[in-house]
């Protein structure tokens, strides 16, 4: 069941998300009891379902055909979940959102295969849309996500990256899937090409804002709500936008550099870096950039006809900026 505040946010498509849930539930049923148990664990935690909601809302701008839209919504959510399963293996993470990760419950080799199975299942779901164009876009989104994640892992503990490289990385790692949701939904809704382009820009921009806010919350979010300690990204060597701005604006005697280079007293340097992020303007500057992406998203869909679906898309921009987890 979708939480009440999200039901209001997703408006006309909220009740139809149960069809996405049903399709995701069907993934858990396999001939292998071991695989079914692993899928049960991986898919047990239901997130906000923002990405499938965007598929349905984009489709609602045109011809709202649930037989085509639901498989894409479920495929995108499954792809997102599978990418998290693989990320946790790469990062060696033992918990996510307060729950044990799949690799903490099972071994790494089995968890990699679990993620592979979920990727394959997501790809099969996309074919149910009957659209070769949407299937191709889905494959391209997966390629961009993988490229963005590879770049992030290659940049671990690297203070030589800049903001433009960060934006390219999150454009692949996060925004590509948001863009796929809205562009794919619009194509399946048989929207005009101008509308499809507008919704793609909207999804990409919302995805960029979403990831920037996520990176800000890593410094200021509630640990219980986030399900991870404050500063987790920096601790793992990932320099996100606030850290990059700190390095750029305060290059002399920078605590992030000291943390990455230190062979001892690393915790002290980490705490100094976290304190400096909070004490300077870099979090506000990061949020300004997130707000600018939401502005771009709103401008992109301004020409679209008024209606409940458009109102929800506009409201999602506010939600992305104001969310606490």
Angle at 23 between CA 21 and CA 28, to 5 degrees: 95
Q: How confident is the model at residue 1 (pLDDT cuts 50, 70, 90)?
A: very low
- Counted residue by residue, the chain has a size of 325
φ/ψ bin of 83: left (φ > 0), alpha (ψ from -120 to 50), beta (otherwise):
alpha
So what's the pLDDT on residue 227? Answer: 66
DSSP label at residue 263: S
Q: How confident is the model at residue 2 (pLDDT cuts 50, 70, 90)?
A: low
Arithmetic mean of pLDDT, 274-294: 97
**Helix (H/G/I), strand (E/B), else coil: 157:** coil
Arithmetic mean of pLDDT, 8-23: 96
89 vs 123 pLDDT, higher one: 123
Burial 277-289 (b: 16+ CB within 10 A, else e): beeeebbeebbeb
Distance (Å, whole) CA 240 – CA 282: 11
Residue with tokens 């701008």, as numbered in its chain: 61
So what's the pLDDT on residue 192? Answer: 98
- The count of C-alpha atoms lying within 13 angstroms of the C-alpha of 302, restricted to the half-sphere facing its C-beta, is 7
CATH architecture of 4-322: Orthogonal Bundle (1.10)
Domain positions in the chain: 4-322
Q: Give the global pTM.
A: 0.94
Q: How confident is the model at residue 96 (pLDDT cuts 50, 70, 90)?
A: low
Distance (Å, whole) CA 147 – CA 140: 11
DSSP label at residue 254: -
């Amino acid at each position: 069941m979708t939480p009440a505040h999200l039901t209001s946010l997703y408006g006309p498509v909220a009740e139809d998300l149960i069809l996405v849930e049903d399709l995701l539930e069907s993934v858990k049923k396999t001939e292998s009891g071991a695989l079914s148990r692993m899928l049960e664990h991986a898919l047990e935690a239901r997130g906000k379902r923002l990405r499938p909601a965007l598929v349905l809302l984009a489709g609602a701008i045109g011809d709202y055909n649930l037989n085509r839209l639901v498989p894409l919504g479920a495929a995108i959510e499954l792809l997102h979940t599978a990418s998290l399963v693989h990320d946790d293996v790469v990062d060696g993470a033992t918990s996510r959102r307060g729950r044990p990760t799949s690799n903490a419950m099972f071994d790494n080799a089995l968890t990699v295969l679990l993620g592979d199975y979920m990727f394959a299942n997501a790809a099969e779901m996309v074919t149910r849309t009957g659209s070769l164009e949407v299937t191709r876009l889905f494959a391209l989104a997966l390629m961009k996500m993988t490229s963005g994640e590879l770049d992030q892992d290659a940049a671990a503990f690297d203070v030589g990256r800049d903001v433009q490289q960060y934006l390219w990385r999150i454009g692949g790692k996060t925004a590509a899937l948001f863009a796929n949701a809205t562009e794919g939904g619009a194509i399946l809704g048989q929207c005009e090409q101008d509308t499809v382009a507008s919704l793609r820009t909207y999804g990409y921009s919302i995805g960029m804002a979403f990831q920037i806010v996520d990176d800000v919350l890593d410094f200021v979010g509630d640990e219980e709500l986030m399900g991870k300690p404050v500063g987790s990204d920096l601790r793992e060597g990932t320099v996100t936008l606030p850290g990059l701005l700190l390095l750029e604006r305060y290059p002399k005697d920078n605590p992030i550099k000291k943390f990455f280079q230190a062979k001892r007293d690393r915790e002290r340097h980490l705490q100094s870096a976290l304190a400096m992020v909070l004490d300077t303007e870099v979090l506000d500057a990061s949020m300004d950039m997130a707000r600018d992406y939401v502005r771009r998203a709103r401008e992109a869909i301004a020409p679209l006809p008024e209606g409940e679906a458009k109102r929800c898309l506009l409201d999602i921009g506010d939600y992305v900026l104001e969310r606490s987890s």
